[in-house]
């Protein structure tokens, strides 16, 4: 295998492995990392001499071939993980917390139908702990107070 083909294989290897690992959490994470590695592989395939010259100027002497491709792919995957995947992950986590809090409020409201005030209070407390700005909390609290007075 020529050194240029080895570099291409190394970059793709890193991308595929990163995509498989990240894809287990959410398919889009894997796709983003794979695209980053493929872009670097295309760069390696189109400009192999330029990458090799850059590697020669590196503090640690890299040999051309698979090692250089792996390093290039790893840098691309790391950058994509920080720039693309991490913000997407944070946004999805935020949305998940928001949905979870809304579900706690809905469940608290359902508990009031069966007059289970303790469980409703617990659910409301969990909702506010999860997302302090969750909508509907005051409405359920008002309903709970009215039902408790009617008892």
pLDDT for 3 equals 66
Is residue 34 within 8 Å of residue 15, measured between CB atoms?
yes
Q: Compute CA distances 125 → 49, 94, 116, 120, 149, whole Å.
A: 62, 18, 14, 9, 21
Which stretches of the chain score pLDDT less than 50? none
pLDDT for 64: 62
What pLDDT sits at residue 59? 59
Number of Cβ within 10 Å of residue 111's Cβ equals 20
**116: alpha, beta or left, given left = phi > 0 and alpha = psi -120 to 50?**
beta
Question: Distance between CA atoms of 96 and 90, rounded to whole angstroms?
Answer: 10
Question: For residue 61, what pLDDT is reported?
Answer: 59
Q: How far is the C-alpha of 97 from the C-alpha of 90, rounded, in Å?
A: 11
Domain count, the chain: 1
- 124, 108 Cβ separation under 8 angstroms: yes
Q: Please give the residue range of the domain that contains residue 11.
A: 3-150
Report d(CA 36, CA 55) in Å as an integer. 19
> Taking the complete model, does pTM exceed 0.75, yes or no?
no
User: What pLDDT is attached to residue 113?
Assistant: 87
Report residue 58 as tokens. 């590196």
């Amino acid at each position: 295998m020529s050194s240029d083909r080895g570099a291409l294989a190394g970059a793709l290897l890193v991308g595929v492995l990163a995509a498989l690992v990240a894809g287990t959490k959410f398919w889009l994470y894997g796709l983003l990392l794979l695209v980053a590695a493929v872009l670097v592989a295309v760069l390696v395939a189109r400009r192999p001499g330029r990458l090799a010259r850059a590697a020669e100027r590196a503090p640690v002497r890299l040999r051309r071939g698979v090692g250089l491709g792996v390093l290039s792919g790893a840098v691309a995957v790391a950058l994509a993980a920080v720039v693309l995947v991490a913000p997407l992950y944070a946004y999805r986590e935020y949305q998940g917390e928001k949905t979870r809090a809304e579900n706690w409020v809905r469940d608290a409201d359902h508990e009031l139908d069966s007059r289970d005030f303790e469980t409703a209070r617990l659910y409301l407390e969990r909702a506010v702990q999860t997302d302090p700005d969750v909508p509907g909390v005051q409405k359920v609290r008002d309903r709970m107070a009215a039902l408790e007075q009617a008892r």
